[in-house]
Structures are given as structure tokens and as C-alpha cells.
Structure 1
Amino acid sequence: MSTTERPRILVVGGGYVGLYAARRILKKMRYGEATVTVVDPRSYMTYQPFLPEAAAGSISPRHVVVPLRRVLPKAEVLTGRVTTIDQDRKVATVAPLVGEAYELPFDYLVIALGAVSRTFPIPGLAEQGIGMKGVEEAIGLRNHVLEQLDKADSTTDEEVRRKALTFVFVGGGFAGAETIGEVEDLARDAAKYYRSVKREDMRFILVDAADKILPEVGPKLGQYGKEHLEGRGIEIYLQTSMDSCVDGHVVLKNGLEVDANTVVWTAGVKPNPALARFGLPLGPRGHVDTQTTLQVQGSDYIWAAGDNAQIPDVAARKAGVENAWCPPNAQHALRQAKVLGDNVVSGMRGFPQTEYSHANKGAVAGLGLHKGVAMIVMGKMKIKVRGRLAWYMHRGYHGMAMPTFNRKIRVFADWTLGMFLKREVVSLGAIHAPREEFYEAAKPAPAVAAPAPEKAKAS
């Protein structure tokens, strides 16, 4: 970390908002006007809408992440966590990956910590559940699913086989519906290469506490999505929840009990709990309370946006919707980051702030290869699309929203190759413990006790 006499703009979090806000600030700033410092425990940003496709093998996992140091060459990028913020002294405490924590002074602060998986105290969930918030989890899910097919194909124990081929997904929003659609596609393709495993042997279950899935695209497209997934043999249980999953024994609120080696948790998100230690004004659900200018309430040098912020939806309120807040999606995050970046530079120069206002343009969702739903909002008209065209719209929108030209090219190249080449169905399960085999080969052999000397025979 370099020392500087220039004002420091500290960006806490290197996700979608943190990356785009830092890029915007660097672009708008004059040379030497300030130092931009980004702190995140990961050295890369993950484009989360592509995680289901990464789990299915449609996109290389390396292509859904953006290295921060490469994209922000003029910024300080610190790999660590901001543990506390002293607003009176304008000092943040940074805990690096290694070594002692240290204090980092700042003049302007951007809170972009994002969200984490929203979980409940369900017995067995911590031990059995697989989340879908990071690329590591997407890779792990892909390897895990293919390992289950390996297990089922190599055993004669019917109970072990049935448990391996049962997959339970909890949460029917974008993440849950897209992930189960992509993973079912993956398993269906992979089953062609196994002698004793067929798609009919597998059981896919989607559970949601709400009365519908895909609420973001409206009731009609949500119902279509439900019927489409059920037509592929996926069981969907609405208005129910999971009571426990100890040792893979899944118990649902509706009385259904199944044994499953795979429990995927996508039941919503919540603001990063680290926000509670920063002394910021928080809303009822733990979000940072902001003004329409993205400035934190009661402050003129702190801004927040994205999943960790409670931002008034100006466009919706003008349309007559009371107490409307911006939903936590990539559409808003991208636009908020740009306004936030402009406002930080304006605030630094003493200029007035700009209000964030964006009318919803719709939503798109992919449900596997060549399958999807899309709702496009044009003024007061809503255009509903489903099937292959919606899937193209889903890929087109997110492909163009992917940060950096480099990553756009790589993602579109993956999709183009996928049109001509068969899906890879290789499990690299050993990647989770890569040193295990070498350790077994290199560890010292156990000491063998020397045999006791034989007693001399009497002559």
C-alpha cells in the first residue's frame, strides 16, 4: 500500500458496484486529484448472473470473474477486509489476508459490500447446503453433481444410488430457477455417457416458501416457467419450506421426506452483516439507509449502492407507488454505480449531487440451454417473451452487461464454441483438496516395531 498526501476515496467492496464506481471515479477524476483505494477479500469481481451457466459448464468459470488489478490499474487494490470504520477520525481498520490489521485514513467513503446468502437456523443446512453467491460455489456444485453420477454408476447399493441421484434446490427466484434449469440440463447431457444412469433415475426437487416462482418476471411468465420445469420432470413444491437436512435427510414442511446428497440453497440474500460494525444508519432489514443521491443519511462524504443499500426508487414513487425501494439486481447496480461515481467526484469538488432515478426496463431469465423467459417494459407496455427467443435475449443482455471488453469476448466465444462442441462433463472433484494425493505419497511411513529377539533354545 502506498502513502499519499492526496485525498483518499475508499471503496469498501470490489463487487459490481465497487468495480464500476471505482472505474467511473478514475475516469472522471483529474490526474493526481485523489487516490482511489478498493478493499475486498477477493482480488476479482464476480458477475453473479452467469453463475448458473458456469455451474452447467456453458461458460468457463474464469470468464465470469474480472481481476480488479487489471481493470483498475490506477487504483490501490488491497486484498483484505474492512473490519471497522471510525467516522469521527475518518479511519478504517483493514485486516489483510496475512499479517497484522492496520488503520487506513480516508476522506470519502463508498460502501459496496453487496449481499450474502440469507439463511435460517435449519438443522443440517450449514453442513449439507451449497450456496450460489460465488464462482467457487458454482465450480463446486458442478463437480459435486458429476461426482454423484459417478457414485451412482459405480455402486450396487440402491439406497446409496437413490441418495446420490436426488437433488434438492431451495428458493424459486432467479438464482434458484436458473440454477436448477442449468444443472438439470447438465445432468441430462452427462447421463448419456453412463451405462447405468438415466435421466429417469434422477429426482430434481425445487422448494419455495412463496406461492410462485420467478416473481421478477410477473405471474404469467412465472407460471410458464413453473410448467416448463415440471415438463422436464422437476418436482416443484410451493408454499412450503425445508425443516431440516441432517446428513442429507431432507424434511419439508409439507411432510415430504427424501434422502439427497445435494442440497442447493438459493433462498434469497441479505445485506453483508459487516455493515453492523460500521456505525452507519441501517434500515429495518440491515441495509444502509441512503438518500436519493446515494449519500448515506446524515452524511455528505459517504455513499452506498447495490445490494447493501436501501435506495428510494424515485421512478416508481413518481408513478404512484408509495415506499418503493430499488430492487437488488444488476440492472440497478450498474446504473447506481455510475451515478455514485459522478456524485463522489462532484462532492469532492463541492458541486451539487445528482438524484438516482431509473425506471425498470424488465427482466430476463434463462432456464437452461435454449429455454428462458423475458419481460421487457416499454413505457406502459410490457412485452412478454418465452422460449428460445427469451433465452437469446437473456444471453444478449447479460453478455453486453459483462464488465470489460476482454470478458465479453471470452463469454461470447464460450457460447459460440458451445454451438458446435458437446458439453464437457468432466468432474474435477480433487480440485477441492489438490494436495491430498501428494500428501499420501510423501508422508512418512509409520514406524514399524522391531521384532523381539527369539530366546535361545535350551540345549
Structure 2
Amino acid sequence: MAAERIVVVGAGFAGLECVKRLEHKLRSEIDRGEIEVVVVSPHDYMLYLPLLPQVASGVITTQAVTVSLPRAVKRAHRLPGSVIGVDLERSTCVVRKISGDVVDLPYDRLVLAPGSVTRKFDIPGLDEHALGMKNLAEAAYLRDHVISQLELANASTDDAERAARCQFVVVGGGYAGTETAACLQLLTESALKRFPRLDPGLVRWTLVDIAPRLMPELGVRLGEQALDLLRRRGIEIKLETGVEEVTDEEVTLTDGTVLPTRTLVWTAGVTSSPLVKNLGVDLVRGRLKVGADLRLPSHERVFALGDCAAVPDLTQDDPEAICPPTAQHASRMATTAADNVVASLRGEALRRYKHHDLGLVVDLGGTQAVAHPLGVQLTGAVAQAVTRGYHVFALPLTRTRLRVIANWVLHLFGGDEFIRIGFLSGAKGTVEEFESADAYLSADEVRDRAQTSGTAPRR
């Protein structure tokens, strides 16, 4: 008899934790060959996304924010590739391996945790010029780009060009955008010592957001303190303002402001992976509609969690409330999803996901941060200590934690070398280039593929 196959799509916070839990709960069955767990991921690491701004600013290295899948996954089979389509009727995933080969992967249980991509809008020039901060390649590219702009400005004799290259615009006043602007502003401030021909007054950072408040999830008091802190550091904050047009030399805002710049960093939210939008099932705010047990309605063998799933928030009085797409929720949903997959295999009752938010932390670079763990509002060095302590606690694997701590210590005492490694030299490095959504199959294409191949349903 063939082993029951559990396929986990994605190896982010949700996917990796789910696989580790499945390995623990089903250890004996896996060893006996009764159960097979397959995790599909294009990379051989889990990326710790909250520390990407520190990668872009050079505080920690790219390797420090990665968790090795070969070390973390002991019994599951790793398939290097991306799931580009799912045939829910035939219980089959369509996988494009990193070699480019496309294969079918049947499943008995499916766990969808493909994560999210940068949310974009129909703004002229955005696809052609916006840089992102959603994956490791984008963070590494952004660091190179910022340093190169300072180098080119330092070498230029044209005043207008120098000013434009020293103007940096970040769109998105959430955690990602605020931390990116804050950390990279400190990078450019320190780097100016290496560029004697540049007037420090030339370097300008502008943070733009359509919302009336910065990081509204922090609350009024902490949000205002963060706003005041960033403004005192020279970062211009433009709230209730959007982007109207982007060209290779300037950004036009909805208030009429025209900013000559060569750098637009786009962090205006995230949206579900194109994979889930092509499944042909119900969505809630762009995410898969699932029950509190994380199962898809009418597909009891399919579970979804993390950024791609609209999971009911049982801690709220509002019946329409769904859990926010945070790492905190994703890692805890993973435990529930894995337990429910095991329960479904054993014919046991499934449990519902419920988690009270423990609070949020925001690193503003150096010794500056804001945080409200367990409802306690903190700022300054104390908040920074809590913020970094949280990240160390949240990182999987002891060796990863030690690597991050070592990077912090080295940067504290040694500073930054401001080395531009030439990553993807000559490429534009846009969100469109790094996060292309055209690799996924539509529901019709998946059905056509099944008819052509003549594959039978798994069950």
C-alpha cells in the first residue's frame, strides 16, 4: 500500500514550523514508510523576514537571516521548486522545479503556506522602477543600489544629478517601510564619511503613506513618538499622500510634489501569492477563505495558513475579523495546522485556531525602537533590547540565533565597510523582476493540463 503523502507548499514561518511539527507528531509513521511528508520550496532556507531592513542596511549579513532547511528538516522530503498550480479535484500539485522541469505531485493531504508578494497598484511607471523589500535578493540589491547612488553622486559634477541621486523615497508607512527608511537612513548617514565631496544636507529620505497615521497598529501614542523620532533624524514624513507617477528620474506624489530621485522603495503592503488566487475558490480580502480549523470549505483534505489564508480571529467580537498576516500568527497557525492534518489522518476531531496577539516591535535602527509587548508601551533603548530579544527568541535553530547576535556585536564595535558587492550589476532589480507573478497557472490552465495528461484523481 502506498504511503499517505502530505504536501506542504512553502517553507516560510508557517510552512517550516508545520513540517517540523508533522515530523514530530508522525515520526514513527514516517520511519515505517506509512507517511510521506514533502515540502516544496524554491530555496533551501527559511527567510526571517523581520530582519530584512537590517540586511539592507548592512547591520547583519544575508546568511544570518536564513534558516537552513537541511538542518531544520530531518525526515521530510524536500522538493526544490515552486508549486505553480493546484488541481483540487484530482488532488495534484503542478510543480516547476528549479531545473525548469514541470511535474505533477499528487497528495493525500495538502497544506498551503506559499506566503505573500508585494502588493502593487496601477500607477504609471511603478512596475518599471519600484524596488522591493520582500525577499533576500531584493534586500541585497537595495543595499548595493543605495551605496551606488552615493558613489555616483560623489563622482558627479552636475548639481541636479547629485541631488537626485541623494534623494531616497520609501512608500509605505507600515512596519516594513518604516524600518526600511529608518535603517537605511542611518546607513547613508554613516556612509557619508566615505564620500567627502557630498554635502550631508544633500542626502534626503522621504517616507510616504496614504494613511493618516504612521503604523496605526502601534496605537496613537507610540505611533506619534515614532513619527517625531524619525522627523528629528531628518526623515520627511508625508501622510495622506500617495504616488501618482514614477519615472526613471522623478516621483510625482498626489499632493503635487515632484521629487527628483533615482530610488523608489515600494513597501505598501502585501497580497497573497498568485497561486491561491488561481485556485478558483472563495477569497476574503484576497486570501483563501478557511474555517477556524484552517481547512478549505468543501475540500476537507486541504489546509491553508499564514499570509495566504483568511483565518477567523476568534479573539475578536467581530465575526468578520480575520487574523493579520504576521509571523507571530503564521508560526502559531503552523502548530494547529499540523495537529489537524494528523487528526484528519487518524479520524480525530480537529481543533480551532485561537491566539491572542502578544504585541509588536519596530526596530528604528541604532538604539532606537518602539514596542508594546503584552500591552506595555516602550521606546528608546529599552524597546530596542526587547525588540532584539524578541527576534532572537523567534528565530529557529540555536546556530541562527548565535549568528545574528554575533553580527549585531560585530557591527556595534566594527561598524560597516560600505562594500558594494555588485549584485545583479546592470539589472534594474524591480519588484516586477524579483517577484514576477506570470509563472503561475490559472485554474483553466491546470484543468487543461490534467485533461491533456489524462491523470486520474489521487482519491
Normalising by the residue count of structure 2, what TM-score does the alignment of the two structures yield? Answer: 0.89
Counting only pairs closer than 5 Å after superposition, residues 17-416 of structure 1 correspond to structure 2 as: 17-29=14-26, 30=28, 31-32=31-32, 33-283=34-284, 285-316=285-316, 320-377=317-374, 382-416=375-409
Secondary structure, counterpart of 2:226 in structure 1:
helix
Identical positions, percent: 38
Distance 1:434 1:147 in 2: 12
Match of 1:419 among 394, 412, 428: 412
Aligned residue in 2 for 1:446: none
1:73 positional shift: 3.2
Higher relative contact order, chain-length normalized (CA < 8 Å, sep 6+) = 2
Distance 1:198 1:26 in 2: 57
Amino acid at match of 1:209: I
Q: Give yes or no for contact 2:167–2:205 (8 Å, CA) kept in 1.
A: yes
Secondary structure, counterpart of 2:373 in structure 1:
strand
1:69 positional shift: 2.9
Q: Where does the alignment leave 5 or more consecutive residues of structure 2 unmatched?
A: 428-459
Q: CA RMSD in A?
A: 1.6
Amino acid at match of 2:283: L
Q: How many residues align?
A: 423
1:115 positional shift: 0.7
Q: Where does the alignment leave 5 or more consecutive residues of structure 1 unmatched?
A: 436-459
Distance 1:294 1:100 in 2: 31
Secondary structure, counterpart of 2:329 in structure 1:
helix
Q: Give yes or no for contact 1:174–1:216 (8 Å, CA) kept in 2.
A: no
Can you list the C-alpha shifts for 1:324-363, whole angstroms capped at 9, x where unaligned? 1111111111111111111111111111111111111111
Distance 2:417 2:390 in 1: 25
Q: Give yes or no for contact 1:244–1:250 (8 Å, CA) kept in 2.
A: yes
1:240 positional shift: 0.8
Q: Does 1:432 align with 2:433?
A: no
Distance 2:280 2:139 in 1: 33
Amino acid at match of 1:298: S
Can you list the C-alpha shifts for 1:372-428, whole angstroms capped at 9, x where unaligned? 100122xxxx31111111111111101210121121110111112222212221111
Normalising by the residue count of structure 1, what TM-score does the alignment of the two structures yield? Answer: 0.89
Can you list the C-alpha shifts for 1:77-103, whole angstroms capped at 9, x where unaligned? 112222222222212221212243121
Q: Give yes or no for contact 2:313–2:323 (8 Å, CA) kept in 1.
A: yes
